[in-house]
A and B are shown apart, each in its own frame.
Chain A
């Protein structure tokens, strides 16, 4: 799309890395500037200024995901304090739709990446396992939008989901010494087997002009 333009080398590099077109990168860059008040990096506070986000029940988790170093494809662990535009793009690239010309392997990797992102969102203590506590936390946040369901309900749902996950992933809990500690990434993949995440987890990045300017 944007290949006709003479791209700055930097942008080309970004485009190669994240798979966005230069148009999209421009849009996103504009938005990034907007969010960060023209600073080179984004901090957590900046997300507070996003309207509509405050109604989101799991906004913490989502914002946190932006600062999660695991999602930024960096080797180290933990949370970053601030992210630059490249990181921002990297996060956004998890939400790219599939390209029509992808082959099987690419699709698979695409899917796994998306799921990894989600998994990291659940696995807040970065130990590679979604424990019951972590799960409960997420479910509680999810349900926090409904004031009529108490925490107990969220807990029971999380418990139920965990039980179910255990039965999906381990099969029957037979052996006397068997303990299901939590959902590992492999289990996570199993759980998601039924959902075409690659056809769902995407956001349209084109056609952003009308709003990118107005908000």
Chain B
């Protein structure tokens, strides 16, 4: 149970900095390969399956780039029986969609699973079109079988259940900076544009009617047409999202069109209600006061909706501040309160879309800071899943509803007229407004932008739901309006949706460039904001930057303190966040790709990753036969690769702490190890990077080729490995040692055991041993036998425990195996049976001591002699930081964390490191015997 739970919970938020290209065709290099290492039998072809799987079952484990990957990966791998059926969760990670800014490329988790199977189709046709067509088909079948249309898009269902998730999703993941940067234009288009559109369309249609061009069956007055104009003129957020998400126009353009579609809700709602009541009252009973009321109600509805949203955002942020003990319901609060905001606004007839949008936009910053990483991930994926489900349902139902001919009443003039007018007036409106706005915008919207904006005015389900809501008794021409709306929606979604992509390409609209935010960019942009604010101060112009600056100060001083957890507030800094995320990411990249600090070259890295883990498991079959030497007598190239891979992993992977707790609770989950792991990995990695950087600076880092040469050349040579590019591998064991040391002094034995990382054992076999070992190793699992309390042969042989300098030897000439921890029991037993052959423990330990001191001792002379003193001192920073920042946040209950983290600083203290080697042996042993 516990294990299963573990498995299904593996959704971990990726470092947000991570960005994923739109489809499998563009492979996210590093990560996929990282995934490939773990994905076992997963083939490229299965990606799409896994994608749709991922979406269908929202919680299909999406192993992400967080450090937990390794632990999960190993948990998976260590259950060989399961592996082949796993489509490779880590691969899914490549698809994890990203927060909003990348929506263009990644958007939500593949809006529609069905069509993702064919990339070619979806690259040309927007999924919304396909869904509508599919809905039409389905509706047709139902109609043919049941003789009447069974299913309809019910307005109530639409407004109460289908729309909120989409709006919340777009609000929550809205790039708030971009949104507020363009708020002026967005508001203009949303308010003025929508007003203009609806009045102009309504009047023009009425004109057509008056001119007698329409069928006499269309019994409608001016008010009816205005009502129809109001509902047909609003740009629909769902449709805009669905289409624009695939057309990667630049951010400004996108935010303007999309922001408009969100904010025009207030206008639409007001106009619709006002005209609806006018129609119901009848033109005779309308007084001048009613018009005034209409205008007033607009402000009331929009500002009220916004206020409701802000209120709930505030509440939500405040609540999440105090959910530390109930982590599991954190995500629930987010959804619940947002939904309550929606309902509350809806109840008092305020703009519910505005409420949810602003609730999402405003709460995000604080909520994200308060809730745990897991909750963050949960919120993100649940939101995306809900939104895309709703979107799918909406479009399908649009198709299905359209076949219901009983509600249709066709009038060619009305339909064509409406189509013509909405296109025409939209274009006119955009051009006029842009002309005015460009006087105020510093970056004017050029003609191409205007074309895309006017063409991107898609109508969608909101219009449809509103038209269905009309009262047929009062609005005589309802059937005509319904038919027209359906045609308009279909036309805009299908025709415009289909053509907008070629149009954008043809017009050479500035696309959004997809790149990961780099630390430098973040820094510069940050500096930039300050510079601009300063210049505005100096010029004496209280402009946008000035107010933004003021707001940020206010936010920092009061709001954040009020709404954020103390611990979160302290560490809250954008630059630091990016830095942190980049580091986490780098720790993944480093292992897989020749990143900034490339690893030593490995022979055929990709094939290795395919082969190593899977083959090992395939060969070993189940957990029963664990002695791999039995199987593996041939020294193949693959084995060497395995060994290399092992070392890479050994060096750059975090050792997860084992925590299998056979407990189940609906409201409590085991303590959050994710953050701790993150932090630990982060520090380890930063340290490593800095070390490498340092050695690079000191001209001692050898090139790839050099490294290879050395590998060949120095068999058993005790060359100082600080020259070796794998140098950082040396650092890792040291760190781990100390960690166990710390724990020993602070915790009980059992706890220590719990916290002991999974040790991957690469077993180097040699010919002599091989022969003798085979028989003994076959008897599986004798009783948990007594293992002599001495370091085993394994420890001597295993390269990751041994001398770094010997690494090359193992890599080049010996067979090595990786054994997941679950197999270690049997492994240790078989090892123990060979105990006698091994060299005496005493000597071994001594040697070990020497080895551990090695890294530290080697390094010092080097830095002393080659580095400018100031620089070398500077680079020791990570330890300082970790120390100080740790002690800083001492008050919070992550004391345990600190104990675990502290070791990371220990490299500074050689003596401690050396002395710490001993306890670890004991621990190692203890665990083995315990098992």
Contacts and interface: CB of A to CB of B under 8 A. Distances in A.
A31 B443 CA distance: 25
B540 A156 contact: no
**Residue of A58, A155, A157 with most partner-chain B CB within 10 A:** A157
Given A57-B530, A118-B524, A164-B518, A204 B543 contact: yes
B702 interface: yes
Interface stretch (A8-16, A46-54, A72-80): A46-54
A83 to B, nearest CB: 12
Contact of B690 (A95, A159, A204, A207): A159
A188 B754 CA distance: 48
A43 B596 CA distance: 44
Contacts of A52: 533, 537, 546, 549-550
B575 interface: yes
A20 to B, nearest CB: 12
Contact of B595 (A53, A118, A149, A167): A167
Given A161-B523, A174-B704, A31 B539 contact: yes
B519 A157 contact: yes
A144 to B, nearest CB: 11
Nearest to B441: A97
B539 A165 contact: no
A2 B693 CA distance: 56
Contacts of A85: none
A205 B538 CA distance: 11
A3 interface: no
B537 A56 contact: yes
B535 A203 contact: yes
A139 to B, nearest CB: 6
Contacts of A161: 519-520, 523, 579
B668 interface: no
B150 to A, nearest CB: 52
Interface string B435-459: 0000000111010000000000000
Interface stretch (B52-60, B359-367, B654-662, B878-886): B878-886
B520 A138 contact: no
A88 B628 CA distance: 76
A7 interface: no
A57 B534 CA distance: 10
Nearest to A187: B520
A148 B549 CA distance: 19
B899 to A, nearest CB: 20
B538 A35 contact: yes
Nearest to B579: A157
B863 to A, nearest CB: 15
Interface in B511-548: 513, 515, 518-521, 523-528, 530-546
Best-surrounded residue of A172, A180, A201 (most CB of chain B within 10 A): A172
A204 B520 contact: no
B520 A177 contact: no
A195 B524 contact: yes
A28 B533 CA distance: 16
Nearest to B578: A157
B44 interface: no
Contacts of A157: 519, 523, 575-576, 579
A98 B443 contact: yes
Contacts of B582: 160, 164
B369 to A, nearest CB: 13
A164 B571 contact: no
A95 B535 contact: yes
Interface string A144-169: 01101110110111011101111110
A106 interface: no
A24 to B, nearest CB: 10
If over half of B's interface residues share one DSSP class (helix, strand or loop), that class is named, otherwise mixed; here it is helix
A67 to B, nearest CB: 13
Contact of B534 (A56, A138, A215): A56
Interface in B423-474: 442-444, 446
Interface in B577-605: 579, 582-583, 594-598
Contact of A204 (B442, B513, B696): B442
A142 B523 contact: yes
Nearest to B522: A161
A180 B888 CA distance: 34
Contact of B539 (A92, A153, A173, A199): A92
B697 A155 contact: no
A199 B881 contact: no
Contact of B881 (A150, A191, A211): A150
Given A153-B881, A157-B575, A203 B541 contact: yes
Given A167-B596, A208-B539, A149 B690 contact: no
Interface stretch (B207-215, B278-286, B869-877): B869-877
A202 interface: yes
A192 B525 CA distance: 10
Contacts of A59: 534
Contacts of B542: 211
Given A52-B537, A150-B885, A157-B523, A201 B874 contact: no
B553 interface: yes
A132 B874 contact: yes
Interface in B699-734: 699-704, 706
Q: Which of B515, B531, B546, B550 has the most A CB atoms < 10 Å from its CB?
A: B531
A51 B478 CA distance: 61
Interface string B133-164: 00000000000000000000000000000000
A80 B597 CA distance: 42
A140 B572 CA distance: 15
Interface string A97-119: 11010000000000000000010
Given A53-B537, A58-B530, A172-B596, A152 B881 contact: yes
B100 interface: no
A164 B570 CA distance: 26
A161 B525 CA distance: 13
Given A159-B875, A167-B596, A205 B520 contact: no
B380 interface: no
A207 B515 CA distance: 36
A176 B575 CA distance: 32
Contact of B696 (A66, A179, A194, A205): A179
Contact of A95 (B532, B596, B696, B885): B532
A95 B583 CA distance: 34
Contacts of B553: 55
A177 B699 contact: yes
Contacts of B528: 118, 200-201
Interface in B452-502: none
Contact of A153 (B569, B594, B696, B885): B885
Given A148-B571, A164-B582, A194 B515 contact: yes
B527 A142 contact: yes
B878 A156 contact: yes
A205 B539 contact: yes
A93 to B, nearest CB: 11
A184 to B, nearest CB: 14
A176 B699 contact: yes
A58 to B, nearest CB: 5
Contacts of B686: 156, 160
Interface of B: 442-444, 446, 513, 515, 518-521, 523-528, 530-546, 549-550, 553, 556, 569-573, 575-576, 579, 582-583, 594-598, 686, 689-690, 693, 696-697, 699-704, 706, 871, 874-875, 877-878, 880-881, 884-885, 888
Given A167-B595, A174-B704, 18 more contacts: A35-B538, A53-B538, A95-B532, A142-B527, A149-B576, A153-B885, A156-B878, A159-B877, A160-B689, A163-B693, A168-B520, A172-B596, A173-B693, A175-B703, A176-B703, A180-B697, A199-B443, A200-B528
16 contacts: A52-B533, A56-B549, A62-B534, A118-B524, A132-B871, A143-B576, A150-B881, A152-B880, A152-B885, A156-B881, A163-B689, A163-B693, A164-B519, A175-B703, A200-B525, A204-B442
By Cβ-Cβ distance, the 4 closest A-B pairs, closest first, are A167-B596, A152-B881, A148-B570, A97-B442
